[in-house]
Structure 1
Amino acid sequence: MVSTLATMSTDSTPRRSRSTRRPLPAGLWRPLLVMGAERELVGANAVLFLVLLIGVPSLWAKLLGLLVFLGGHFGIRLASKKDSQMFRTFIRSIPYQDFYPARPSTRANPRTVPEFRSRL
C-alpha cells in the first residue's frame, strides 16, 4: 500500500509528454459554406431569386427565377469544390489589378527555349 502511494503524483491530472499532438477542431480551419457554397454568393443568388419570385407576377418569371437559382447554385457549388475561397480571393485581388496586369510587359525579355540535343 505504501508503494502505490509513493508513486502517485500530487495532482490528479495525467501528465502528457511534449510530443503529444491534439487534432485541431475542424471549425477552426474548414471554410464556412452554406449549402456547399460560399455564403456571400448563396445570399446574392437567393436575393435574385426572391426578387424574381415576389417582384414579377408572371408564372414564367417565377419558373425562370427558380431555374436561375438552381443553375446558379449548381455553378457556385462546382466553383466551391475547386476552391472554397475563390470569390473572396477574387474580391481581394481587384485593387491590385493595375499593379499586377494579367499580361506581360511589352519591354519584357523574350523567353528563351533551350536547344534540344539528342543523346544518340
Structure 2
Amino acid sequence: MAEFGSNLIRSRIHRALSRPNLLMGADRELVLLSALAAVILIFVVLTWYAAMAGMMFWLVAVAVLRMMAKADPLMRRVYLRHVSYKSVYRATSSPWRRY
C-alpha cells in the first residue's frame, strides 16, 4: 500500500502561470486603459490644466483599481461573466416561483 503512493508523478506548475496578471498592483488592462484615457485628455486639450487633470485622473484611477484588485484580483472577469450570464440565470427565490 505504501509503495503505491510513492509512484505518483508530480509536475511543477510555475507560479507565474497561476497568478493574476497585474500591473502596478491592479488589473493590467484597466490600468493601461486609464493611462490611455489620461494621455488622450492631455494631448487633445494641450493645456497645463488638462495635463494636471489627466495626471490626477490617472493617479485616482490607479488607486481605485488597486483597491479593487486587493479585494479580488479577478473582479473584472467575474463581473463580465456575471453580466453575460444575467439573462440565463435570473435572480429568483426558487425554481417554482411564478414570474
Letter in structure 2 aligned against 1:49: A
RMSD: 2.5
CA distance in 2, matches of 1:101, 1:63: 44
Gaps of 5+ in 2: 1-5
Q: Tell me the equivalent position of 2:86.
A: 97
Identity of counterpart residues, as a percentage? Answer: 32
Deviation at 1:29, TM superposition (A): 0.9
Mapped partners of 2:80, 2:88: distance in 1:
15
The aligned residue for residue 41 of structure 1 is 30
Give the number of the structure with larger relative contact order, counting CA–CA contacts within 8 Å between residues 6 or more apart.
2
- The structure whose residues are more often helix, as a share, is 2
Rg (Cα) greater in structure: 1
> Which residue matches 2:47?
58
Q: Which moved more, 1:93-102 or 1:44-53?
A: 93-102
Closer, same or farther: CA 97–65 of 1 in aligned 2, 3 Å: same
Secondary structure of the residue aligned to 1:28 is: helix
Equivalenced residue count is: 92
Specify every segment of 5 or more residues in structure 1 that has no aligned partner in the other structure, as ranges. 1-16, 110-120
Question: Which residue matches 1:81?
Answer: 70
Give the residue type in structure 2 aligned to 1:40.
E
